[in-house]
Structure 1
Amino acid sequence: MRKQLSLLMIMSLFLNLLSYQTHQVEAVTLVKAESELPTRNEETPSSQSKPDPNTKHEVALRMNLPIYNMEDVKEVKGEQLAVKKYSVEEVEMLARLINGEARGESFEGKVAVAAVTLNRVRSSKFPNSIKEVIFQSGAYTAVSDGQYSKKPGKKAYHAAYEALLGEDPSSGALFYYNPKTATDNWIRSRHIIKTIGKHAFTR
């Protein structure tokens, strides 16, 4: 009788120990699986992310602008052909101006130059289109000395895109100049809002 009782106790102890180990393995597996799941706050690469726009056509596609030259456009959707405020031609003009006026400047400096042009378009003191502002007599050195005619680089198109989206590192400036080379006393008399690279931005 004692042997049977002892045997039962040993069997019960063995089963309890086996059950404990099984639950422990399950718990460890569960914790490991949960730790491998991405949390809501954890940043994961977006499959929707796109590279910076490097041509006027890419800018136009991003901004839903009308496309006139379809040669190097890989994909166009119906809604991307809707006519908006700006045109592909104006994107090109703005990029050429950036290239001519701020080719050696930082990206921020390039966007700021473009923003000044757009600020002028919105101001009652200047013409109301990008083309008229750029080609206003004596407005930009790049137009006067022929730099405007050079083909823009990728950064110029990207900077134009950012400015057209509303970025304005110039803080609302209507003018800018290089303090080291400017000879106009009037521009030097303007209040400087901020300086970015070689350019002082004023109103």
Structure 2
Amino acid sequence: MIKSLSILLTMSLVLTLFSAQTHHVEAKTMIKAGTSLFDEEMTESNRVIPEPETKQDVALLLNLPVKHMNDVKQVTKDQLSVTKYSVQEIEMLAKLISGEARGESFEGKVAVASVTVNRVLSSEFPNSIKEVIFQSGAYTAVSDGQYDRQPGKDAYRAVYSALIGEDPSSGALFYYNPETATDNWIRNRHIIKEIGKHVFTR
């Protein structure tokens, strides 16, 4: 009788230990699976393309300084020191795109913005967005007042794309509308490509 009881107790202990081990394995598997799903979600969210709608959105995405940005709620330390572009220049470029490329596709808007950025980087032009935009006779929109219109969100998106290095113009320094251009000198420049109503040249 005692022997039988001992055998039953031993079997019960073995079953208990086995059950506990099984639950431990299942728990570990669930934790691993959960972590994997979380990682996948994080990776997916990191692939979301930001769509800035204001100059503040663009500045924050580019990690730019936040001077004169009183309505920005969150500021990081780096944003107080980076000075490659200013918030004012973001607004200027958005206004330029709105005036020069209104009615063009998003690609066309980015291309126009890229020409301005390319000029800033070229030794042939001034070295700031503000100086390039307001160079005498450089842009029709500045001359005829279209520059003064309030930019839409597509203009800010185009600014962001151009400032992070996207360049549909393929390095162009000039562009013009063949139907409305009055300066013959620009028609003699090497054509790189056409986007919408604009011809892009070097």
Tell me the TM-score normalized by structure 1: 0.75
d(CA) in 1 for partners of 2:193, 2:49: 32
SS at match of 2:45: coil
- Report the Cα distance in structure 2 between the residues aligned to 1:94 and 1:131, rounded to whole angstroms: 8
Match of 2:14 in 1: none
Counterpart CA distance in 2 for 1:43 and 1:65 is 25
Cα drift, residue 84 of structure 1? 2.7
Q: Which residue of 2 aligns with 1:149?
A: 148
Consecutive unaligned residues in structure 1, runs of 5 or more: 1-33
> What's 2:22 paired with?
none
How many angstroms apart in 2 are the aligned matches of 1:81 and 1:61? 11
The 1:100/1:45 distance shift into structure 2, 3 A limit, reads: same
Residue 70 (str. 1) matches residue 69 (str. 2): yes
Q: Any unmatched runs of 5+ in structure 2?
A: 1-32
Deviation track 1:150-190 (CA, whole Å, cap 9, x = no partner) reads 11110101100110111110000010000111121111111
Q: CA deviation at 1:46?
A: 1.5
Q: Which residue of 1 aligns with 2:119?
A: 120
Q: Secondary structure at the match of 1:201?
A: strand
Amino-acid identity (%): 72
The aligned residue for residue 158 of structure 2 is: 159
Contact 1:59–1:91 (8 Å) recurs in 2: yes
**Structure 1, residues 30-85: CA drift from partner, whole Å, max 9, x if none?**
xxxx9xx86x9999742784641111111111111111233432322223322231
Moved more, 78-87 or 46-55: 46-55
Structural mapping, 1:5-20, within 5 Å: none
Match of 1:54 in 2: 53
Tell me the alpha carbon deviations over residues 122-142 of structure 1, each in whole angstroms, 9 at most, x when there is no partner: 111111111111111110000
Question: Which residue number in structure 1 is paired with residue 83 of structure 2?
Answer: 84
Residue equivalent to 1:130? 129
Q: Which has the larger radius of gyration?
A: 1
Partner of 2:100: 101
Larger helix proportion, structure 1 or 2?
2
Query: What is the distance in 2 between the residues matched to 1:48 and 1:194?
Result: 30
Separation of aligned partners in 2, 1:42 and 1:87? 34
Q: Tell me which residue corresponds to 1:4.
A: none
SS of alignment partner, residue 200 of structure 1: strand
TM-align CA RMSD: 2.4
CA gap of 1:78–1:150, structure 2 versus 1, over 3 A, is same
Change in CA separation of 1:78 and 1:41 when aligned onto 2, cut-off 3 Å: closer
* 3-state secondary structure, aligned to 1:69: coil
